[in-house]
Amino acid sequence: MAEEREQVMKNFSYKEQEMIRAFIFTNPHGNTSFIYPQSLLAGEELPPLVSAYSRTHVPMQTRSLQFLDQEKREQTREFLSHIAPLMDIFRLSDGTLKVSPKTQVFSSQWILGHGHDSIKEEAQVVGVVEQVSDITGKKITGHPLNRPQVKSTRYIDFSTVLPLMLGDPDIAGLPSVDKALSYIERMGRQYVRFTNLITDGLLAQPVNQRGIEYLKRPEEVQKAALAWAKGQKRIDPSFEATPEMLERQEQKILESLTGDSLRATVEKSVLDYSRLYLLALNRTSVGFSTDARTLERIITDMISSNRVEDRTRGQELWDEAKKIAPIILGPKSHIEIDQWQIETDKAMREYLARTHLGSLHERNLLKNGTANLLSPRDIEMYTDRFNAALVVFPYCGAALQDIFSALTDKDVDQVLEIAHAHRGKKGVIHPAISHGGLTVEFVMGYHGYRDLFRHRRGSRSTQLLTTRLGFEVPPLYDSLGITQEYLADMKQASDLFEEAASVNPQVAEKLVPFGANIRAMHSWQTDQMGYVGDLRTDITKGNFSYVSTVRELLSKVSALMPKTSKYFKVDRREFPPEVWKKIYSWYDAHERNR
């Protein structure tokens, strides 16, 4: 269950709390739920609530109830007596919204019968999926028209998620399940160990000690407190900081720079480095808003997967969606197991296995790089051969240019035929045939790519997550002398992955650490390249992995269009890996030119 049955609202009785919960959520206490159309949580209040939920370890239902209890107590109290009558009026006994006869006829005739799919886009929904594996969560967040907020790994209670990982239904189906469970536990211990190692290492660095002592100077503490007051004033123009407020804030700042508080702050910042030990099996939570047409495609993709968890969570989403949109997302909707997807996956992998394409080397074409920029100058785009290479890409582990070069004329014919042999009446062109223009093939650490994956404009194709492309080694690991232990652990991960992949490559993905390199392809227009560069090149705010990769990408785009690229906003500041992020400004002012 998503949440224990506990009292989370302090100003309402347990009975009242549960009535409010049932009024808002389609699946009270469940891990998969939608938010009903209602007035308590709606409009502009939902986005910050979903965003705040993604930045704490607190489940969405608890976070929502606490918000009503603390911020809308009076309104909620006044509304309380109306909840039961409204539920009786507008919902069936199983929680399904009542739909008028005319709407039922219209939706059945025009949307389902005649296939006017665009009408589905007018039905908006807000949902939440708790405690889903990272790799299954990508099925939800990966659709370009979905709008998700994913709970950061910083806010996941590892002691809670470990038992869920050990009970994963896909891992339970592996022949070597005991070995897999032992490995999962060990990687969890190493994640905690490396978090502590890196925290200790940063705290022991003389440069960080000097920086921390500087921040503790009275004038610096006072400056930080005044900056806080200025920030509060921007949020609320009527805010006026009293001397007492400033004194309390100064005390907080000093406490954050000493003892356990300092360690906790540093520890939070190092999770970007220790999370290389997390597995794609790791549990996360997703809040999202989307439309019925997009949700239909997401559910179809999930229930068509060969992973048990994907299918189970997809079915849960469908069951709850039926309560919100019982006709267009109901039992007679266009949601169904996608035989085109299933049969093409099977046929393509069989074709690759029996031809020379199955022995293509899984390599990074760049010896010292992570972003291979492809334009029509580099590869013959908009041709049948290019389209066939795009189709092969997600079913193998090779680079696109290697695939393109290896394809014979016969392969091109066979691949395109296989890709479209099992289309249903709604299928048109294989979804991989969607790239062109400025296309980049990333080979980078999965933990960093997870942030680039979120950019939904353009086209995206990913290969299965494996350990065959090696592992990212953060420069900080070298600085702290922990690289060899890390690589030894990753060697064990590779061995176990190969054993699982021989049984089921999709299930084996769950055992891959976040430090493993993934190959993925994105096609972005020039303006999107600029947007990604502006957002993802600032090391003071971003993750070292994607910052270095996007900087590399923008350098290559600049070589292609030097005059246009002058207008990109690219931050290229560098800091030694052992310098704590909180003291970057101090380092710039006092240490950089020493």
- Is-contact 372 443, C-beta < 8 A? yes
Helix (H) or strand (E) holding 187: helix 177-204
Alpha-carbon distance 388 to 542, whole Å?
36
Bridge partners of residue 371, in order along the sequence: 442
Q: Which H or E run includes 127?
A: strand 124-133
Q: How many residues does the chain have?
A: 594
Q: Using CA atoms, how far apart are residues 77 and 86, in angstroms rounded to an integer?
A: 15
Separation between Cα atoms, residue 297 and residue 225, nearest integer Å: 49
The residues, any chain, with a CB within 8 Å of residue 415's CB and separated by 6 or more, are 348, 351, 388, 391, 392, 407
Determine contact, residues 494/446, Cβ cutoff 8 Å: no
* pLDDT value for 1: 46
Q: What is the DSSP letter of 481?
A: T
List helix spans (H) across 407-474: 409-420, 446-452
Q: Which residues of the chain have pLDDT under 70?
A: 1-4
Task: Give the integer Cα–Cα distance in Å for 64 and 8.
Answer: 10
Q: What is the pLDDT of residue 2?
A: 47
Q: What is the pLDDT of residue 425?
A: 79
> Residue 449's pLDDT is what?
96
CA neighbor of 198 nearest in space, from 568, 585, 483, 513? 483
Q: Which of 258, 261, 196, 279 is nearest to 480 (CA)?
A: 196
Domain spans of the chain? 14-156+282-324, 179-277, 339-471+517-565
Contact criterion met (CB below 8 Å) for 245 and 229 = yes
Q: Does domain 339-471+517-565 have CATH number 3.30.1360?
A: yes
Phi, psi of 279 (to 5 degrees): -105, 160
Instruction: Give the pair of three-digit tokens for residue 584.
Output: 């970057």
Question: Which token pair is 309?
Answer: 């968890």
Placement of tokens 């350990």 in the chain: 467
Distance CA 232, CA 163 (A): 41
Asked if the domains 14-156+282-324 and 339-471+517-565 are classified in one and the same CATH topology, the answer is yes
E strands of 219-370, at which residues?
283-291
| Interacting residues of 10 by C-beta distance below 8 A, sequence separation 6+ | 69
- Both tokens assigned to 570: 């690219």
Residue with structure tokens 């004329």?
409
Fold held by 14-156+282-324: Gyrase A; domain 2 (3.30.1360)
Write down the pLDDT at residue 4.
57
